[in-house]
Amino acid sequence: MRRSLVHALVLALVGLLALAGCTAPDGGGEPTPSTSPSPSSTPSEEPSPTAEPTLPWGPTEADLEQAMADAADLSDEEAAGQVLIARYGGTDPAIPAELVSELGLAGVILFSENVSSFEQVVATADGVQEAVAETRDWPGIVSVDNEGGIVQRLSGESGPWTTFPPFQVAGAASGSPDVVSAAYEAMGRELLASGITMDFAPDADVTVGPSDVTIGTRSAGSDPDLVADTVVAALAGFAAGGVLTSLKHFPGHGSLNVDSHESLPVLDTSTAELASGDLVPFAAGVDAGAPMVMVGHIAVTDWDEGVPASLSPAAYEYLRDELGFTGVAVTDGLDMGALTVTHSDAEIAVEALNAGADLLLSPGDVRAARDGILAALEDGSLDRDRLTEAAGRVIALVRWQAELADEADVGADDVGAAGSAVAALEAAAITVVAGECSGALAGPRIHVRGGTADAWNAFADAAQEAGLEVVPLEQEADTDVRLLVSGSDGAASADVAIALDSPYPLADSPADTLIAAYSTDATTMAALAQVLTGEASAPGTLPVAVGDLPASACA
C-alpha cells in the first residue's frame, strides 16, 4: 500500500513549502540570508516566533501533514469510506448513522425528504457524529444544499429556519459586501446550530440570462466581476458562521442550455474565453480561501473532449495548477444523468478519484461505489497514494471546520434569527433603473395593477403601512404603479413599473420610473415601500443585463 512512501512525500512537500517561504518578499531573487542582530538589539532579546505556515483555505501545513499521515494509516476499507458522502431515504436519524457506521463514510447529505423538523435534523446530525466517533478522532460531515431561493433544504417551509432569497439578490446587493457577508454568516449560524457542517454554496456560475435553463437566479449575475465580488463576500460570511462551503459548478454552468441532471452539457469555448468569463468567480473564490470547489458534470472541449469535468484529469489540473487551488475538490452529485447514462456507480467513483477528485458526493449506490474503489485498489487501476491524498485532504478539512465551529459559538437561539440580516440584504438589493434617486417616487395616492394576487396584497399592505394610500382604479390617484412578475407584459402602461422577481420585463416598460426588487416576500415589499416614499435609498444594481438599461440610475 506504500503508506510510508505517501508519508515521506508529504514530509518532502512540506519541506519544500517551508523553503519557498524563505524567498524575498517580492517573490524574486535569492533567499534572504540570516544576519546578526541589529545594533539596537540586546543579547537578552528572544527571537520572534515564526508563525506556522497556513494553507490558503485554512489549515496549517502541519495540519495537512498530520491528516495525510492519518489517512495513510487507514485500511483500504476505511480510506474508501472517507471519500464518500451518501444520500439516503427518509427522516429516521438511525438510517444515516447506520450507513456511516457500516461503510465508514465521511458523512451524508440531507435533502428535503430528510427534513421534518429542527429536532429531527439535530438528532440526525448527532447520530452521524456518534457513529463517526466510534472509529476515528475527526468529525463527520453533515451536509446540505442551501443556497437560498429554489435550492434551500432548511427554510421556513420545512421548519423554524429563515427563508433566504435567491443568490441573485446578493448579486444585486454586491455593492454592499458587508451586508452580503452578514446575511450568509446568519445562514451559516442557523445551519451550524442545526448540526450541519457543510453547505454546498455559494453558486459561482455566471448566468447568461433567460436562455440559462438550469442556474438562473441561483447565479449572482451575468457579469463575471460582480459574481466574483458576491461570491467572495458570501464565503467570508459562511466561514464566520462556522460552516464549510463549496464554489460550484466548476468550470461554470450558467451559459449552458443542457441540464447536467439529465445529460452531459458541453462547453465548446476556448480556455482563454473561459478564463475571462465563467472562471473569473472561481479564481476569485480560490484566492479568497474557498475550502472546496465542486466540479460539475460539464465537458470542456478545450480540456478533454466529451469527458465530464468531474471525471477529467485536465479539469482538476487546471483547477490546481492554473487557479492554485489546494483545498478539497468535491464532485457534483454522482447520481446525475450526465454520468449515469454511460457509467456504473463503481466506474464513476474510480474515474473521479483517478481524475483528481477528493470527495465523492451522493453516488447512486454508495455501497457499489465503495466496493468499486476497493476492487480498483486490488487490481491496481486505482493507486492507494491517490486515495490517501484524497482522504487526507478531507480529514484536514473536517478538522478545520471543527475549529471554525468553535469560533462561531452558535446555539439553538441562532435558528430562525437571520430575519434582520435577510431584510438588510433585500433592502440593499432594490435597484432604481430609471427615475429619480431621492425623494418620493410615488403617491401619496396610488393605483396598483398587475402581479399575482399574493404579490398584489403583500405590496398593498406594505405600501399602506409606509403611508401610501392604495385607492381603487375608479378613483383618482397620483401614481399608477404596475407590478411585474415573470411572464408579465412589460410593455403595459404605468408611471412606476416594479419587477418583483425577474427584472427582464423592465426592458419593455414605458414607465418613467423602473425599479427591480427581485423578490415578493414581506421584507422586500417593506423595503420597496420605503424607497417609494423617499424614506430610503435604492443602493442595488442590476446583476444581469436587461436590454439596454443601465445597471442603476443612481450609480
d(CA 125, CA 128) in angstroms, rounded, equals 5
Residue 464 sits at the vertex; the CA angle it makes with 460 and 465, to the nearest 5 degrees, is: 115
State how beta strands 107-110 and 141-144 pair: parallel
Question: Which listed residue (145, 212, 229, 332) is catalytic?
Answer: 332
Q: Which three three-digit cell numbers place residue 531?
A: 424607497
Q: Which residue has the cell 546578526?
A: 36
Q: Which three three-digit cell numbers place residue 515?
A: 425599479
State how beta strands 360-361 and 431-434 pair: unpaired
DSSP assignment of 233-273, as one string?
Answer: HHHHHHHHHT-EEEEEEET--TT-SS-TTTS--EE---HHH
Find, among 358, 321, 408, the residue nearest to 67 by Cα.
Answer: 358
Question: Which listed residue (73, 261, 489, 512) is catalytic?
Answer: 261
Q: Which three three-digit cell numbers place residue 38?
A: 541589529
Residue 289 exposed, middle or buried by CB count within 10 Å (0-12, 13-18, 19+): middle
Find, among 478, 483, 426, the residue nearest to 457 by Cα.
Answer: 483
Cα first-last separation, the chain:
61
Annotation says 332 is catalytic: yes
d(CA 288, CA 60) in angstroms, rounded, equals 16
Residue 142: beta bridge partners?
108
Residue 330: beta bridge partners?
294, 359
Q: 3-20 vs 61-72: helix axis angle to the nearest 10?
A: 170
Q: What are phi and psi of 545, to 5 degrees?
A: -75, 130
With the CA atoms of 480, 483, 484 and 485 taken in that order, what torsion angle do they form, in degrees rounded to the nearest 10?
-170
Q: Which amino acid is at 298?
A: I
For 506-547, strand residue ranges (E) read: 513-516
Who contacts 351 (Cβ-Cβ below 8 Å, separation ≥6)? 311, 343
Residues marked active site are found at: 261, 332
